[in-house]
Structure 1
Amino acid sequence: MKQLRMIRCGLAALVLLCAGCSGGNDKSGERAPPEVGFVVVHPTSVPLTTELSGRTAAFAVSEVRPQVSGVIRARLFAEGSVVHAGQTLYQIDPSLYRANVAQAQANLSSAQANAEAARTRAARYRPLAEMEAVSRQDYTDAASQARQSAAAVQQNRAQLQTAQINLRYTRVPAPISGRIGRSLFTQGALVTANQADPLTVIQQLDPIYVDMQQSSSQLLALRRALGAPGSAVPTSAPVQLKLEDGSDYGLTGTVEFAETMVDQSTGTVTLRARFPNPQGLLLPGMFVRAIFAQSVAANAFLVPQAAVSRDPRGNATVLVVGRDNKIVQRQVVAERAIGPNWVVTAGLADGDRVVVEGTSRVRPGQSVRPVPAGSPQRLGGGNGAGGGGRGQGGQGGQQGGGARSGGR
């Protein structure tokens, strides 16, 4: 019994000793301020851009139609090739139109002969009428016949010119230079003058247009930013382009014009930019994104997105480490993001230490132990450091999510 009592006393002492050690550790953990990672921010000039979606459109489009009727005898171009203005594309059977030219030439010759005879007769009657050898009426009739014959010559000459023009129209030329599409009519097909269906379509692709849709409110802001509030559009503003696969188009374009009215159904205005396209990389109908160099924000701060949070009213806030190593909450102006950073235009000062790691473990007014973000000091040993390391791992996941959100 005595031995059993001694064992019980020893166990009780051991329990009390363990409890004391545990309590001491808890108090030590409460006294140690939490670690936070910070970055020092400095003002810089940040170029601000506006990105709009749009589609490419041909600089010029020509639907080729015949101006005379007939049967197509030959197609004189390769489908999909580049053609030049004036190049013959189709040959329509010219037989009928050559005959019309020959007939018009014969009619003109006949009219010229009649006009010469009438002019001679009138010239002969004039002195006879003065001598009253013929009546004045006969002379008047002869002179009138001469004038009518001269008018008939002009009429037949015009008919000859019309016949010659129609003969030239049997050769269908390219109205503009550009890339030609497929032929919608084959050799042997009967076509008519000014028919509804085109023979083919030519598109001029260098330069090329990009049509973009922008809300009317955004257009007003863009005009103010580009220094053209009273103009119809900030013309000559440089524009960059991103292609469908996310790559950058290497050449710079300029704004050409904006529509003079707002689409009531969508509340948007169409902007048009012009881009050089010497390699033919851009084709009509491609989806692209146009980037305007809107302005430059002077004395702005680039703050990692993980450091910026929103209060219930939607105001952007950051946590700053004060000189006494206490957390201060600052309300900032962060209206746009560039890559993984927010562009902060108000609320920060040069040299501020902005908390980017461990924000979820601290609150305003709390004392902290600040270390540079990503510093090896955050890998120190001990239970406290280990706990900080685990908390940091969770915060790193939050930063990764913010970066991904910014990327989207």
Structure 2
Amino acid sequence: MKKLIVLILSLGVLAGAYSIAFGVPEQVAQIWGGTSAPAEEAEAPRGAAGGPPGGPPGQGRETTVVLAPLEERAYTLVLRTVGSAVSLRRSEVIATEAGEVVEAALQANRLVEKGDVLLRLDDRTEQLALESARANRDQAQATVTRYQGLHQDGSAVVTDVALSEAEVALRLAEVEVGLAEVALEDRTVVAPISGRLGLSDVTVGDRLSNGDAIVTIDDSATLLATFEVPERSIGLLAEGKPVLVTTPTYEGRVFEGTITSYDSRLDSVTRSATVRAQIDNAEGLLLSGMTFTIRMTEETAPLPVVPATAITWDRSGAGIWVAEDGRTSRVPVTVRYRDGDQVWIETDAPVGAQVVTEGASKLRDGAQVTTADAGKGSGA
């Protein structure tokens, strides 16, 4: 008897705990209450969405969303890279003769014109050699003149062979004079181009050897910038395409240039192409060797553009929801570009279609939607 009482009490405790946690079952409540609710009322909670029980979610009620027409707009492709520049025309002056420097005009940053004297080497030996060559030439000239006079008078003393030999000797003497003049000129070093001198360690009294560096000259009116472009941006390259150049030295200042050439192949390691562009530096503000930030831009053909909140993702990829006659359908898209909260896409949805820009994550195919403005109007 005691076991039966304990069993009954245990069942009562379990029933009470169940009713507290999960509520009283509907059938039990109807028995206790003595009434039976109509079938229609019993089914009403299941159809709270306004549709048949068990129907597709979202078809029985309207979801408030924000709609906007699908627009097209060009996207501006921007490539930023870093490069360095050298003078388009530059020269390193090298000694072609050995000797002691007796005169130098190598002040750094001095502007020189092509042909200006930069330094002179000791040329006393070359001057003496030139004087000797000139004397030999004069003597040979006198011999030829005498032989020609005798030959014209019909003298048998000067034969044709003797006259011919004298003329050859004169030509050789003239060549010796020319060689001596060139050797003397080589003792004077002149600027091969116009430009600005760099730093030089050569001073008067130094002795130079053949091949020694004397000074550099840069004509910086135009700079030649070299930079790398990644493989994905090769389509931006074209000869004559403008580039915008900036440098930390002149904050906020933009210099213009144009692409002059680019490599015909990609680097096998970096997968990039080397590009060269000329930069106008008529004001002389930029120096050879500077590092620059280079920017190239190009506008694409118009593409559909939507806010980032309009893009949803599922197993098939990205898509947007398009509303028509109050119902939505999902249209696949391919994302092309992003800029902030705007996304440029490729899609079969027509321009002007109403796209769900807010609330898209709550939608299902065929869901009924209403706009936020429409909801406010109905509430008034």
- Report the TM range for the smaller structure's normalisation: 0.5 to 0.7
Structure with the bigger percentage of helix: 1
Q: Which runs of 5+ in 2 are unaligned?
A: 1-19, 25-43, 50-57
The separation in 2 between residues aligned to 1:70 and 1:34, in whole angstroms, is 95
Q: Which residues in structure 2 correspond to 1:8-407 (within 5 Å)?
A: 33-44=62-73, 46=74, 48-49=76-77, 51=79, 53-58=81-86, 59-73=88-102, 75-79=104-108, 81=109, 83-86=111-114, 88=116, 90-92=118-120, 94=121, 96-121=122-147, 123-124=149-150, 127=153, 130=156, 134=157, 139-140=159-160, 142-169=162-189, 172-173=190-191, 175-195=192-212, 198-214=213-229, 219=234, 221-222=235-236, 234-241=238-245, 250-279=254-283, 280-281=285-286, 284-293=289-298, 295-298=299-302, 300-312=303-315, 315-324=317-326, 326-371=327-372
Q: Is the 8 A contact 1:52 1:212 kept in 2?
A: no
Distance 2:165 2:280 in 1: 64
Query: Which residue identity is paired with 1:154?
Result: E
Distance 1:289 1:316 in 2: 34
Query: Are the structure 2 counterparts of residues 129 and 63 from structure 1 closer, same or farther at C-alpha, using a change threshold of 3 Å?
Result: same
1:116 Cα deviation from its structure 2 partner: 0.5
Pair 1:262–1:356, CA change in 2 (3 A): same
Q: Is the 8 A contact 2:324 2:354 kept in 1?
A: yes
Spell out, residue by residue over 1:195-250, the C-alpha distance to the aligned partner (whole angstroms, 9 max, x if none). 3xx3333333332233343456753x45xxxxxxxxxx732233344656997764
Q: What does residue 383 of structure 1 align with?
A: none
Shift of 1:33: 4.9
Q: Following TM superposition, by how much is the alpha carbon of 1:120 offset from its aligned partner in structure 2, in angstroms?
A: 0.9
Distance 1:255 1:237 in 2: 5
* Structure-2 change in CA distance of 1:318 and 1:89 (3 Å): farther
Query: What code does the residue aligned with 1:284 have?
Result: G
Across the two proteins, how many residue pairs are aligned to each other? 325
C-alpha change, 1:284 and 1:292, in structure 2 (3 Å) is farther
Label 1:47 to 1:356 Cα distance change in 2 as closer, same or farther (>3 A): closer
Larger Rg: 2
Are the aligned partners of 1:73 and 1:90 in contact in 2 as well (CA < 8 Å)? no
Compute the displacement of 1:112 (Å). 1.0
Over residues 268-306 of structure 1, what are the superposed CA-to-partner deviations in whole Å (9 max), with x where a residue is unaligned? Answer: 43232223233424753524233142x5413x2332234
Contact 1:41 1:354 in 2 (8 A): yes
Q: Percent identity?
A: 17
Alignment CA distance shift 1:106-1:309 (3 Å) = farther
- State the SS of the aligned residue for 1:67: coil
CA contact (8 A) 2:266 2:273 kept: yes
RMSD over aligned Cα atoms? 4.1
2:141 alignment partner AA: A
Structure 1: any 5+ residue segments left out of the alignment? 1-11, 17-22, 223-232, 381-408
Aligned in 2, Cα 1:247/1:322: closer, same or farther, shift over 3 Å? farther
User: In structure 2, what is the Cα distance between the partners aligned to 1:264 and 1:292?
Assistant: 26
- Deviation of residue 50 (structure 1)? 5.1
Letter in 2 for 1:297: A
Q: Secondary structure at the match of 1:86?
A: coil
The answer (yes or no) to whether the contact 1:69–1:190 under 8 Å persists in 2 is: yes
User: Aligned partners of 1:349 and 1:244: how far apart in 2?
Assistant: 46
Q: Structure 1's 145 and 178: CA in aligned 2 closer, same or farther, altered over 3 A?
A: closer
Q: How far is the alpha carbon of 1:163 from its aligned partner?
A: 3.1
Q: 1:132-190: per-residue Cα shift (whole Å, max 9, x none)? A: xx5xxx63563244224312331232133213312333xx42x3344443224455433
Provide the rounded CA distance (Å) in 1 between the counterparts of 2:328 and 2:247: 45
1:277 is matched by which residue type in structure 2? N
TM-score by length of 2: 0.68
So what's the TM-score if we normalise by structure 1? 0.64
